[in-house]
Structure 1
Amino acid sequence: MHKVLNFPTLAVLIYLLGTGLPAFGLNLPVSAETDRLLLAAEESLKSNNHRDAREFLSKAQALSSDLPKQFYFLYGTVLFHLDEHDAASTNLVKFIENAERGSTQYNEALGFITAIQKRGGGRENKPATKRNPETSLQPTSILDSSEKQYVKGITQLYLAESESKALLKHINDMLSSYALKPAAKIIKQGQRPLVRYRLSHDGAGNILTSSQKITPYNKTNTRSTVSTSKLNVFGVDPFVTYRCSTGTNSCWLRSPTTGSQWLEISQNEEAAAEIARASTALIKLLQKEAR
């Protein structure tokens, strides 16, 4: 049973998490869920909602490493409209390599690449200057109006002195409330350790992740080790994705820098979505503060 949330967290979940979330608990096969997310992204594109489309595609990317060619067309189109021309070109070229020559989407993809070249974008038109990862920022590191309202609401609820501190408190409350629980009351030899997470930032563009690994030996004795890792926000795609698994009975949030597993909580897709949303907003804020 999950720990009861304190008032600010509960209020945030009611008012900020309660709308706009996908249907959960359907247990669709990975391939079907990927197709569902691509369809949702396509619908968002039709309504010119490019940021929602990107979020659907990011979730599809987190689900599967074997993505259909349609993914690359949609992702390239979204990135084109978000003015991320290098990444758009990469995805569109990957689509074109596998698309039917002369098809409607094939021609559309070629049109996007031509438009990118005319705007001076794309890898082949850029001067060979070195990028400094310490100062480079993604164009997506801008809070849109809905994200600004979201951050404002969290800051007011937590009565924090800054937006980044409010987001950190919210994320850490969620990580604590949905921390992994022992799989069984009886301790078995070789039982995998539980890990507790806590985030902070150092004021220099780094998110620090403190991981406390708790290894049970018997009913009363455990071994605890703490490690800290650093995630630099400069130049990274701020969108944090997640994946939940019934096999592990947990949800993993993926590192925005490597795509590898970053934070693990008990299986609760709504909670994972909220932590991902708050983490994305936090990264964008830290990127903005470092400008």
Structure 2
Amino acid sequence: MAASICSYVALHSHAADQAQFSGGEAEHYLSELKSRYGLAGEREALLAHGNGLLDRYALRVAYQVGVANPQDLSYRLSIGKSGELQVREEVRGPGNGIAVHNRNLSVFGLDPYLSYRCPPQGLVCIIDSPADGTPLVTILRDPAGAEELAKALSFLIRNLQKG
């Protein structure tokens, strides 16, 4: 148990460390994203990257072998009014039913560095909301993917905080 707590803390703090680039590293990261997605704006590139990562690491029924009630879980990010990040969550059960939940995250006054958790005995990684620490998004268990998503969302929140 102590080892899992240590690995959790290491992963948890590692995400924040990776997102806190110096000016040159941040500029390189943002220019790479703009080039990759063929977009001129940092905000648009960060949004495209975040949504791409959410698509890639979406929790699908196919990954949930042996789970009693498997569900597809997917997310979509968008920009709301000034200083607001919108998170759309879609949960699709084994039948045709779908539940949609929308969450608006006001970014002003928040610590922009998101953390994540990837419990050792689980199928998921969770990116925590900087507003209240509750789960913001849940993805397939992939610590490197969770780290990259936390970094992209941290940069997006910092960008939105600029106005």
Aligned length: 158
**Cα drift, residue 180 of structure 1:** 0.5
Structure 1 gap ranges (5+): 1-26, 38-54, 60-140
Conserved 8 A contact 2:8-2:117: no
**Cα drift, residue 187 of structure 1:** 8.2
Question: Which amino acid is the alignment partner of residue 161 of structure 1?
Answer: A
| Consecutive aligned runs of 4 or more in structure 1 exceeding 6 Å deviation | none
Conserved 8 A contact 1:246-1:267: no
Q: State whether structure 2 residue 33 is matched by structure 1 residue 176.
A: no
**Cα drift, residue 222 of structure 1:** 2.5
Which residue does 1:207 correspond to in 2?
A: 85
d(CA) in 1 for partners of 2:2, 2:23: 31
- Cα 1:214–1:143 shift into 2, 3 Å: farther
**Cα drift, residue 246 of structure 1:** 3.4
- SS at 1:279's partner residue? helix
d(CA) in 2 for partners of 1:261, 1:239: 14
- Cα 1:31–1:211 shift into 2, 3 Å: closer
Alignment of 1:169-248 (within 5 A): 169-182=48-61, 183-184=64-65, 188=68, 191-216=69-94, 221-248=95-122
Which residue does 1:29 correspond to in 2?
A: 3
TM-score calculated relative to the size of structure 1: 0.49
Decide which structure has the larger Cα Rg and report it: 1
- Cα 1:161–1:203 shift into 2, 3 Å: farther
Structure with the larger helix share = 1
Higher relative contact order (CA 8 A, sep 6+): 2
**Cα drift, residue 250 of structure 1:** 0.8
Question: Which amino acid is the alignment partner of residue 152 of structure 1?
Answer: S
- Cα 1:287–1:187 shift into 2, 3 Å: closer
Question: Which amino acid is the alignment partner of residue 234 of structure 1?
Answer: F
TM-score calculated relative to the size of structure 2: 0.85
